[in-house]
Amino acid sequence: MNIIHKTLLSIVLIFLSSCTNTQNYQPRNGDIIFQSSGDGQISRMIEYATKSWYSHSGLVVKKNNNWFVREAVGPVKDTPLKKWQARGKNKWIDVYRLKKEYQKHIPAMIKNSAKYLGRPYDKKYKFDDKKIYCSELIFKAYKDSTKNNLGQIVTLDQLDYKKFTKQIKIIEGGKVPLKRKMITPWHLSQAHQLKLTYSNKK
């Protein structure tokens, strides 16, 4: 192998390494970050029903020169970014960022998300403010700031839920709420206002 080929190979290897290195992620206020939160029942249900590996999401915020993820995990709180990532399956993360024309809303999003701090987790995925689930926190922070939706609202009967009918009935204490409206992590990630800016999932 001649020196030109060696040089090109080195450049390619460095590039590939940087693409998968978690340290390569450069956080920005307002980034929306997704992970698989592991093998818990709720996580499995969300991932199976949406046919994605996203079962948890949060809003990246900077406080006192440190990075946190504002998340609804019971209660809504700010978790150090590194700790948040380490808690997820294989430390995989996907990071989405508002497109340039929507970034003007980030300060208001962060401010509006703060009013939900301390709220308990909503395992029933209801769209009220008494309890909050992860993607709902981000959806409402954007909605409160712009009056517009971030991602597609779906009903339970649009998802592949039937495998978990028994578990849902236990959580609900009754019938499966087929027409309950919700915003899942996956449907949030597909919002037209967002673009994928970082992924370390191999």
Q: Which residue has the higher pLDDT, 8 or 102?
A: 102
Q: Residue 16: pLDDT above 70?
A: no
Task: Decide if 154 is inside a domain.
Answer: yes
**Residue 21: its pLDDT value, please?**
44
Mean pLDDT value across residues 142-167: 98
Nearest to 187 by CA among 30, 55, 40: 55
**Residue 23: its pLDDT value, please?**
64
User: Residues 6 or more apart from 198 whose CB is under 8 A from it?
Assistant: 24, 25, 93, 94, 95
Task: Decide if 4 is inside a domain.
Answer: no
H or E segment to which residue 196 belongs: strand 194-199
Mean pLDDT value across residues 52-65: 98
Q: Are 134 and 116 in contact (CB under 8 A)?
A: no
**Residue 120: its pLDDT value, please?**
98
**Residue 172: its pLDDT value, please?**
97
- Rounded Cα distance between 160 and 145, Å, is 31
Mean pLDDT value across residues 40-68: 96
Task: Decide if 17 is inside a domain.
Answer: no
Mean pLDDT value across residues 95-101: 99
Number of domains in the chain: 1
Q: What percent of the chain has pLDDT over 70?
A: 89
- Rounded Cα distance between 78 and 74, Å, is 11
Task: Decide if 46 is inside a domain.
Answer: yes
Task: Decide if 1 is inside a domain.
Answer: no
Q: pLDDT tens digits for 20-33? A: 344 689 999 999 99
**What CATH number did the domain enclosing 186 receive?**
3.90.1720.10
Q: Residue 8: pLDDT above 90?
A: no
User: Residues 6 or more apart from 169 whose CB is under 8 A from it?
Assistant: 175, 176
Running DSSP on this structure, what letter comes out for residue 54? -
Task: Decide if 16 is inside a domain.
Answer: no
**Residue 15: its pLDDT value, please?**
47
Task: Decide if 165 is inside a domain.
Answer: yes
Range of the domain at 99: 24-199
Band (12; pLDDT cuts 50, 70, 90): very low
Task: Decide if 60 is inside a domain.
Answer: yes
Q: Residue 84: pLDDT above 60?
A: yes
